[in-house]
Amino acid sequence: MSGAAFLDRDGTIIELVHHLAEPDKVALIPGAGEAIAQLNRAGVPVIIVTNQSVIGRGKLTEAGLAEIHAEMARQLAAHDARIDEIYHCPLAPTVKDPRVIEHPDRKPGPGMLTRAAEEHRLDLTRSVMVGDTISDMLAGRNAGVAATILVETGYGTKVTMPDESIDYAVPSLSETLPIILAQTGRSGDIP
């Protein structure tokens, strides 16, 4: 079984837009397309796990989310990058604490990662969770991944460190490559 790169979407791959609901506001964070293309070439499955409370709040439909993801895919394709699968949780939260699990599928719950592991036969103990918030880091922890990486893009600039949920902190997705390749056992495959 292979390890995977589990990536948050907003503030990690695309620029943070609060309650993003319009495809024309999708913009890749600089370097993200190239980083994902390198993961693709190294054979690391790239799985997005994203909380989309904007759906639960009634501000975006599932069809609208698909349009946003199509636009993201179009922009990634310009870098020869692709996402293997996207899991999203539509639930709107009732508490603000990013450490509280309200539902297994909503980060910091591990549900999207454990489902992906089952459906794609992924080894969580050789996988990495990358995101810009504590709830991303904890979702990785709760799923039992090998390492969590905080990117200092999006909300990542506001996270107080150190925090026991964070194994590594790097400026952006671009700098996660060596860590992901080492943790997933793909370090010998660097293109």
Positions touching Mg ion (CB under 5 A) are: 8, 10-11, 132
* Distance in Å, CB of 10 to Mg ion, minimum: 4
Closest to Mg ion by CB, 28 or 42: 28
Closest CA to 6 of 87, 98, 80, 93: 87
Beta carbon nearer to Mg ion, 6 or 186: 6
Q: Which residue has the tokens 């179009």?
A: 74
Among residues 11 and 140, whose Cβ is nearest to Mg ion? 11
Distance in Å, CB of 12 to Mg ion, minimum: 5
Q: How far is the CB of 150 from Mg ion (least distance, A)?
A: 10
Q: Judging by beta carbons within 10 Å of its beta carbon (0-12, 13-18, 19+), is residue 124 exposed, middle or buried?
A: buried
Spatial separation of the C-alpha atoms in residues 66 and 49, rounded to whole Å: 14
Distance CA 125, CA 118 (A): 13
Q: Is 123 helix (H, G, I), strand (E, B) or coil?
A: coil
Residue 65: both structure tokens together: 């989310």
| Residue 179 token pair | 């860590």
42/166 with CB nearer Mg ion = 166
**What residues are labeled active site?**
8, 10
H helix intervals, 27-175: 32-42, 53-56, 62-77, 111-120, 134-143
Supply φ then ψ for residue 145, to 5 degrees: -70, 165
